[in-house]
């Protein structure tokens, strides 16, 4: 089965499964979206949401975090993995936004990726969910599933993003990457489906019998 046929099957099943797709991270504005995505590195979205629900009602602007200082930011997010590194990034990121961008989150990949702690995936999520720009952020879930579904060779997330953008029309990217994340968490789990039991895997590869090994992101 070629990628065009697989893409139609995947889009159809995902649209039926998730006609309305929520964003995994809770946030109040584009700035807090940026902070939440930064915090989600090596951490579950559930943990991030549990921590930020007590932060964002009071602290939701760059000025707030600069005024807090690094130590206070550390105390606020200490239940999150590598919290000291993330607190440092949040503090200096907030300072740069105030000094160079008038307190606003920039709307270009180049400017976003120059901010402390912000890589291409984080920038892609902000461009997609924050500004509505067509983007296809690739996290570990999407990287794994794209391999299981035979959409990429799995060398790295950069290649996976390029391959997925070449297979799916741009108008679906923003919605699709969220649908894939939810589907991977609920139906095509890393230690459950193994590429042979969920509807998408069975539909794309009806004759597959052996578990698929995937390359980590």
Q: Which residues contact 98 (CB under 8 A, 6 or more apart)?
A: 62, 63, 66
Tokens of 53: 């629900």
Two structure tokens written together for 166: 């070449």
What tokens were used for 195? 């590429």
Q: Which of 6, 45, 86, 139 is catalytic?
A: 139
Catalytic residue at 121?
Answer: yes
Neighbours of 5 (CB within 10 A): 11
Question: Given 6, 45, 86, 121, which residue is catalytic?
Answer: 121
Distance CA 31, CA 34 (A): 5
Summarize the chain as % helix, strand, coil (round to 5): 60, 0, 40
Residue 163 annotated as catalytic: no
Catalytic residue numbers?
A: 121, 139
């Amino acid at each position: 089965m070629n990628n065009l046929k697989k893409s139609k099957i995947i889009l159809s099943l995902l649209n039926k499964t998730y006609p309305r797709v929520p964003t995994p991270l809770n946030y109040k504005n584009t700035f807090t979206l940026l902070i939440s995505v930064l915090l989600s590195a090596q951490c579950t979205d559930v943990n991030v949401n549990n921590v930020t629900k007590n932060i964002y009602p009071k602290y939701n602007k760059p000025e707030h975090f600069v005024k807090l200082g690094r130590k206070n930011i550390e105390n606020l997010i200490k239940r999150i993995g590598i919290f000291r590194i993330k607190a440092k990034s949040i503090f200096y990121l907030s300072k740069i936004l105030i000094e160079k961008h008038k307190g606003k989150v920039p709307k270009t990949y180049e400017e976003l990726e120059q901010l402390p702690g912000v890589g291409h995936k984080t920038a892609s999520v902000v461009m997609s969910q924050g500004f509505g720009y067509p983007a296809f952020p690739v996290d570990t879930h999407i990287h794994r599933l794209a391999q299981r579904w035979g959409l990429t060779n799995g060398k790295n997330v950069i290649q996976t993003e390029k391959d997925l953008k070449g297979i799916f029309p741009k108008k679906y990217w923003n919605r699709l990457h969220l649908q894939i994340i939810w589907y991977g968490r609920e139906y095509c789990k890393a230690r459950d489906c193994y590429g042979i039991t969920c509807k998408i895997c069975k539909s794309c590869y009806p004759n597959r019998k052996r578990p698929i090994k995937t390359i980590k992101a």
